[in-house]
């Protein structure tokens, strides 16, 4: 990953809003409806071109394809592996169980959305099928990024074995450990493809925080930490041989607009995150429930080999953060980490985590990313000024 010696760089977490046309096609494909493959390819080209241009316009330094080519950040995986079928009975987060009105609101606001709680389950041995699909994704992104002259560096996302295991539930393997091992083995195909294409690999691993209130809610804190360590160990197997400075790890508490009363504290999971063979951590700090948790990094210092991508704009409301707010959050992060070059400004989570379940309208997304760049510039000026005066 590139380091900046003269300003704080700006990135984001990955997913960006999809057009209505593309959303309809992706959901139709997920539902198994017949479609025109050329129409889908053309629409993906338009979408990827669009989000690259909008990222560049907003001032994003490290960008991607906005996950335009996927129906959801992890639920696309069953299309690429054999062994998945049927339907998982994934539990909702405790927020939704304690506040049924949240479910009603979700159903009312997003009546036609991609699968989240009812994705397929693992019913047979998993095998990664066709590497040409990820190759096409990469080629489409790199072709459009090159044509636009965008980005100092590019990344592509892929879900962790852990979050796949807790979304597409296990109905075949003899244990969670065995299931994770199989997922790590097969997802390695995708991780290596992204790395070999020269892209930074971002692993999306909300399982390491969010699943404390979902899949692992019935465990004690100590038991949850052991489960999270098992997830990280599986991930490390999957990315073995990829230099850690080419991997960044995103961890969050779930990208939904709810109270988040049962979110696990960062203090508990931070040592687990440090076990990942990654060169950067992406963690949400814009979320009002977690803005205070930079203090956990003060007490348990970020390893010297790691960068921090603090979320300084949140991804669930249409309020555009003032650049001064962004700047202050970044300055606090620099103060905690102790090194300006190891901070890259980012968002809390994706803005298009699942197709047709986007809380932030598209025009506001670009304004938020613009505010991210503006705030990073303000913080950079202050930080370099301070250094010059010392």
Average pLDDT, the chain: 95
CA distances to 22, 37, 109 from 28, rounded to whole Å, are 10, 12, 19
List strand residue ranges (DSSP E) for 86-218, in order. Answer: 121-128, 153-159, 200-204
Q: What's the pTM? A: 0.96
- So what's the pLDDT on residue 102? 86
3-state secondary structure at position 365 = helix
Instruction: For residue 244, name the pLDDT band (cuts at 50, 70, 90).
Output: very high
pLDDT tens per residue, range 9-18: 999 999 999 9
- 69 vs 134: CA distance, rounded Å: 10
pLDDT in tens, 127-165: 999 899 999 999 999 999 999 999 999 999 999 999 999
Neighbours of 342 (CB within 10 A): 18
d(CA 256, CA 304): 32
Strands (E), 70-109: 81-85
- Please tell me the predicted confidence (pLDDT) of residue 73: 93
Helix (H, G, I), strand (E, B) or coil at 303: coil
Q: What is the pLDDT of residue 111?
A: 74
Report, as an integer, the average pLDDT of 63-85: 96
- Domains annotated on the chain, with CATH: 9-389 (3.20.20.210)
Q: What is the pLDDT of residue 386?
A: 58
């Amino acid at each position: 990953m590139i380091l900046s010696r003269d300003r704080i760089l700006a990135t984001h977490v990955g997913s960006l809003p999809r057009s209505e046309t593309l959303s309809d096609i992706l959901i139709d494909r997920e539902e198994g409806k017949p479609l025109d493959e050329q129409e889908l390819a053309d629409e993906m080209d338009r979408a990827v071109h669009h989000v690259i241009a909008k990222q560049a316009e907003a001032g994003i330094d490290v960008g991607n394809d906005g996950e335009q080519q996927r129906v959801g950040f992890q639920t696309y995986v069953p299309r690429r592996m054999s062994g998945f079928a049927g339907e998982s009975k994934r539990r909702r987060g405790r927020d939704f169980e304690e506040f049924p009105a949240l479910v009603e609101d979700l159903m009312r606001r997003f009546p036609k959305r991609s699968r989240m709680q009812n994705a397929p389950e693992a019913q047979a041995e998993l095998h990664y099928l066709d590497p040409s699909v990820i190759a096409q994704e990469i080629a489409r992104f790199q072709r459009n990024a090159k044509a636009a002259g965008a980005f100092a560096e590019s990344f592509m996302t892929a879900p962790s074995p852990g979050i796949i295991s807790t979304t597409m539930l296990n109905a075949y393997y003899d244990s969670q450990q065995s299931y994770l091992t199989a997922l790590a083995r097969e997802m390695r195909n995708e991780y290596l493809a992204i790395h070999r294409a020269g892209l930074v690999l971002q692993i999306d691993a909300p399982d390491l925080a969010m699943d404390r209130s979902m899949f692992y809610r019935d465990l004690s804190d100590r038991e949850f930490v052991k489960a999270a360590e098992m997830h990280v160990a599986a991930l490390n197997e999957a990315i073995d041989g990829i230099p850690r400075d080419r991997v960044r790890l995103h961890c969050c508490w779930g990208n939904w607009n709810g109270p988040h009363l049962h979110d696990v504290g960062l203090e508990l999971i931070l040592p687990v995150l440090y076990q990942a063979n990654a060169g950067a951590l992406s963690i949400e700090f814009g979320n009002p429930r977690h803005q205070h948790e930079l203090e956990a990094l003060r007490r348990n210092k970020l390893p010297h080999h790691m960068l921090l991508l603090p979320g300084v704009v949140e991804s669930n409301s249409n309020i555009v953060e003032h650049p001064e707010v962004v700047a202050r959050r970044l300055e606090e992060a620099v103060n905690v980490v102790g090194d300006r070059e190891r901070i890259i400004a980012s968002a809390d989570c994706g803005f298009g985590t699942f197709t047709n379940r986007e809380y932030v309208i598209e025009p506001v997304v670009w304004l938020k990313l613009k505010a991210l760049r503006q705030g990073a510039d303000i913080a950079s000026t202050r930080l370099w000024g301070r250094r010059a005066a010392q």
